[in-house]
Amino acid sequence: MGDHLDERAPHTERKAAAAGDAGRGDGGRGDGGRGDGGRVDPGRADARRGGARLWLRVAGLAFGLACFAGAIYTAMRERDEFSRAIAALRDPPPLAVALVLGSIALGALLTAVLFHILMRRFGKVPFWEMQALIAATAFANYLPLKPGFVGRVAYHRLRHGIRAAHTVRTIVEAIGLSGTVASLFLLSLLGLRALGVQGEWALLAPAVLAVGMRFPRLRTLSQALLVRQAELALWTLRYWAVFRLVGAPIDLETAIVLGSVSVIATLLPIVSNGLGIREWVIGILAPMISHEPVSTSQAIVAELVHRAAEVAVMTPIGIASIAVLVRHNRRRALQGERPPVA
């Protein structure tokens, strides 16, 4: 009898389950009658992820603006130091002005060289077009929500047939190279100071990794690293000059530290171009490490001048580059040329 009861039990359970499925009206799929097999609509999921990314960008922008406003308020609270910094800007050293503006323009050129080296593995991009694209996206990244990144990925896909994943890979590689060079500057500076050697030699330290050019797999990254090293050396020169503009000269070793830390702050994905973050980092760090007297107010004003110089240089170059790219692609469209398939 027990055996018969055991045989009937599964049968009874199957009948109950079938009755439950019929009552739900979903054919036993368990999806509430949607008829989608319980699968989530990919389009809807992508929309949710896109919305989340947008909100993160908006939050980052709000955070950056709050930090930026707070830095300005802090600088203005030190009225005497703030007044001295502003007074120094009324009669700036011409050489310092030329170094700041020239290093920004030359840095944009080196960035184009860097991405030309990294991108040539995945597609053919004329150097002039890469230069124009880098300038255009650098300008666009000063706008809210940092549209330059998306624009560059889309442009390479539509214009050169380069997959989005490959463009993103080169951007990630460039970020990694920046972090590597900046870290080597800082670590080698500490090591040289411990050995009693002048810290300025730290600017040459990343070149030791150029040995990677002997190996085919590392040759591209090694070449790109040397370009990034030259570009970050320009950041050092820029900070050396910009502090002279506000009447608070610093030595080259301090400029190496400030330039390296500023680059790292710029790489943070929270806000575009380290808005607000750079001002606070420089404002706090410069008075702590400078061998010459520098106030927090002077340091923040120096960073504000630095940012204003970047905008002043890259805005006309970026707008002109956008116009050139639009005209070039319009002419190609009229000629009936089709871009490669990504």
> What pLDDT was estimated at residue 310?
95
- pLDDT-derived band at 76 (thresholds 50, 70, 90) equals very high
Question: Dihedral through CA 158, CA 160, CA 161, CA 166, nearest 10?
Answer: -100
* Residue 67 included in any domain: no
* Residue 64 included in any domain: no
CB 240 within 8 A of CB 257: no
Q: Quote the domain boundaries for residue 204.
A: 78-334
* Residue 339 included in any domain: no
Listed in sequence order, the residues at least 6 apart from 153 whose beta carbon sits closer than 8 Å to its beta carbon are: 164, 167, 168
How large is the C-alpha radius of gyration of the chain?
A: 28
* Residue 115 included in any domain: yes
Listed in sequence order, the residues at least 6 apart from 37 whose beta carbon sits closer than 8 Å to its beta carbon are: 29, 31
Tokens of 164: 């989005």
* Residue 160 included in any domain: yes
Number of domains composing the chain: 1
pTM of the model: 0.81
- Cα angle 178, 184, 185 (rounded to 5 degrees) comes to 90
* Residue 213 included in any domain: yes
> What pLDDT was estimated at residue 333?
77
Please determine, for residue 19, whether its predicted confidence score (pLDDT) is greater than 50.
Answer: no
> What pLDDT was estimated at residue 87?
93
CB 223 within 8 A of CB 203: no
Tell me how far apart the alpha carbons of residues 185 and 255 are, in angstroms, rounded to a whole number.
11
Query: C-alpha 250: how far from its chain's center?
Result: 27
Q: HSE (CB half, 13 Å, CA atoms) of 35? A: 0
Tell me how far apart the alpha carbons of residues 279 and 14 are, in angstroms, rounded to a whole number.
69
